[in-house]
Chain A
Amino acid sequence: MAAARIPEPVLVDYDAARASFRWEEARALLDGLPGGRGLNIAHEAVDRHAAGPEGERVAIRWLGKRGERRDLTYHDLAAQSSRFANLLTDLGVARGERVFVLAGRVPELYVAALGTLKRGAVFSPLFAAFGPEPLATRLELGDGRVLVTTPRLYRRKVAQLRDRLPGLRHILLIREADDDEPGEIPGTIDLLSRLADASDTYTIPDTDPEEMALLHFTSGTTGKPKGAVHVHQAVVMHHIAGRYALDLRPGDVFWCTADPGWVTGTSFGIIAPLTNGVTMIVDEAEFDAERWYGILEAEKVNVWYTAPTAIRMLMRMPNELPQRFDRSALRFIASVGEPLNPEAVIWGREVLGLPIHDNWWQTETGGIMIANLRCLEIRPGSMGKPLPGIDAGIVEHREDGSVVEISEPDREGELALRPGWPSMFRAYLGNEERYKKSFVGGWYLSGDLARRDADGYYWFVGRADDVIKTSGHLVGPFEVESALIEHPAVAEAAVIGKPDPVAGAIIKAFVALHPGHEGSPELIRELMAFARKRLGPTVAPREIEVKAELPKTRSGKIMRRLLRARELGLPEGDISTLETPSSS
């Protein structure tokens, strides 16, 4: 009987677990460095398994885009990441210095991430679809010392930035078999040959649980991206969230489809699965429905963590398609990135035979905070309930700047969390003021608007700021606007999220031109090309509209919200502070 094979959830009784939860007990699920020398993510993820009977278990099953397949056991991953840590030491990379990785989903990315953590340096992933500008901004803000990338990405995006990044001392290139311009690239180091020369044993130095481990960039409404700092202790949250919210247990086959260029792909695409001793699937290729169902079948995936955009693309396929594949190994599906529409939850139940469990968290929270859990009834469209150990609330802002918790159900306010969970961000790198502003009255303020129903389920309402969620990626309007106004024809730019059935929102830009420029189709195309070259396809606008003027407040601030309301045909709200009535 099929049902008999499905094990009990890891978390069986939500209320009891919440009532008795203590962080010390979650910490006790991990080993710590031998001899009480602290806590290091890489030890918990790899070395402790490699040394034990699970050493020969496959840690990473890598599926290449051209059909290649490579298995790395926990033992292999421990050895390879030790080689990387030794290489960093040889290069003189100090503890706390930042090692950035810009690469597709290739095995060396995982080796570099874990080797960096072993060394006590800081791992910072970059999304491979970023253009040169977002890359330069992040490498500058993060004071990157090392960049691991591929020759193709280096030539396309990084070589042109070298003069701007004097602190970036070492470029380690992952050679590609299909590189059409092989050969030495001046000012770079061949990673694979240096790894082969390095020793495969490395003793992780004493690691304070509060030492910086990870740096993830996220976007705000104004100003540059913010580098959220996470410490080694975050692994306590990664591990317990993997168990509670993803139902992970040792020996599972787990597939997180998120790219490690974003926080999900690191917390739950590298760390949580490995600390939990699972075999994780890494697929190098981009989304392809048949390929994906084929992977679920061939690799006997037990737990699958994906994103709403991917689910909506799967929903566009004929319902017969998944029926052609054996999905009997699959027991749990979760989704994150943006609210999952109720139809998708129901589609999962009807077409895949399993409901999809939405959950909520952010770069700043480091791990899953609120989730539809396996042991609880799913409320389609809701983000679920706070994990044991996490205290959430809905707060409203008072005029004096303080906040007060809203206790009655179903009233909208800002989603807030009580500080103190292990993966809470410890800083925005170099921006103490902005960090402090995130905490008011004993709450971390998430910037998301939400409500809580009478049974304690949370429901996403919208963003409190102008940040855009596109295909699950957070994009700050300022970064896009700054790139557009560098074009000689553009006087002003304002960027909004325009609702889209697949991506959730697409980035739309409104521009006002300098005198003497015409908003012709040719110019719009030129602006699109200009923005894509600088920003890459994910961050660049997909629609550009020329306006004679952009609406502004009396103080001269462009009113993105008004543009958005007009675009959506929504009520425009209070426009009494508006100076320039739009002539559109």
Chain B
Amino acid sequence: MSASDPASIESTVIDALLDVAPDLERGEIKRGIDLRQDLDIDSMDFLNFIIRLHERYGIEIPEADYPRFATLEGCVEYIGERLASPPGPPG
């Protein structure tokens, strides 16, 4: 299992969310739910969650892409895409 396969990404995403909101149970973080609305994740939690994903994967996540992190599957898809496309030239 490589770091960029969906199962591994999903597990890392769940870890990052549990770091921010350790009151959640792992099993609560399911596909299909809205992470913010259904898990009592407020906007500060959400920012901290994005920062943790940025730290773990070393990818810049522009604010305009934040809506794609609304669901677990959205997070996995986005990170998968970003890991698959090599970074462009600096500058």
Contacts and interface: CB of A to CB of B under 8 A. Distances in A.
A528 B42 contact: no
State the main secondary structure of chain B at its contact with A. helix
Interface in A509-531: 525-526, 528-530
Nearest to B43: A287
A503 interface: yes
B4 interface: no
A537 interface: yes
Nearest to A532: B23
B36 interface: yes
A317 B21 CA distance: 25
Interface stretch (B5-13, B52-60, B61-69, B78-86): B61-69
Interface in A396-428: none
A321 B63 CA distance: 10
A309 B22 contact: no
Given A316-B63, A526-B22, A532-B23, A286 B44 contact: no
Contact of A290 (B37, B40, B67): B67
A313 interface: yes
Contact of B22 (A104, A289, A525): A525
A290 B64 contact: yes
Contacts of A285: 37
B73 interface: no
A367 B35 CA distance: 34
Contact of B43 (A104, A290, A471): A471
A65 B71 CA distance: 13
B33 to A, nearest CB: 9
B45 A537 contact: yes
Interface string A525-552: 1101110110011100010000000000
Contacts of B64: 289-290, 317-318, 321
Contacts of A326: none
A506 interface: yes
Contacts of B22: 525-526, 528-529, 532
B66 A288 contact: yes
B29 interface: no
A313 B37 contact: no
Contacts of B47: 502
A129 interface: yes
Most chain A Cβ neighbours within 10 Å, of B40, B41, B62, B67: B40
A290 B63 CA distance: 10
A313 B43 contact: yes
Most chain A Cβ neighbours within 10 Å, of B19, B22, B23: B23
Contacts of B21: 532, 537
B43 A542 contact: no
A471 B34 CA distance: 22
A65 B47 CA distance: 20
A81 to B, nearest CB: 26
A318 B62 contact: yes
B43 A286 contact: yes
A291 B36 CA distance: 15
Interface string A224-235: 000000000000
A158 to B, nearest CB: 14
Contacts of B42: 129, 286, 471, 537-538
Nearest to B22: A529
A288 B23 contact: no
Contacts of B63: 289, 313, 316-318
A537 B67 contact: no
A514 to B, nearest CB: 21
A64 B48 CA distance: 26
A542 B44 contact: yes
B55 to A, nearest CB: 16
Given A286-B43, A318-B64, A471-B43, A542 B23 contact: no
Contacts of B23: 528-530, 532-533
Contacts of B45: 537
B22 to A, nearest CB: 4
Nearest to B42: A537
Given A288-B67, A529-B22, A503 B44 contact: yes
B48 to A, nearest CB: 7
A526 B19 CA distance: 11
Contacts of A289: 63-64, 66
Interface string A299-329: 0000000000100010011100100000000
Contacts of A321: 64
A72 B63 CA distance: 34
B29 to A, nearest CB: 14
Interface string A14-52: 000000000000000000000000000000000000000
A537 B40 contact: yes
A537 B21 CA distance: 8
A309 B43 contact: yes
23 contacts: A285-B37, A286-B36, A286-B37, A286-B43, A289-B64, A290-B64, A290-B67, A313-B43, A317-B63, A318-B62, A318-B63, A318-B64, A470-B44, A471-B44, A502-B47, A503-B44, A525-B22, A530-B23, A532-B23, A537-B40, A537-B44, A537-B45, A538-B42
Of all A-B residue pairs in the complex, the 7 with the closest CB atoms, nearest first, are A529-B22, A532-B23, A529-B23, A537-B42, A533-B23, A317-B63, A525-B22
Given A471-B44, A528-B22, A528-B23, 13 more contacts: A65-B37, A129-B42, A290-B64, A313-B43, A318-B64, A470-B44, A471-B43, A526-B22, A532-B21, A532-B22, A532-B23, A536-B40, A542-B48
Interface of A: 65, 104, 129, 285-291, 309, 313, 316-318, 321, 470-471, 502-503, 506, 525-526, 528-530, 532-533, 536-538, 542
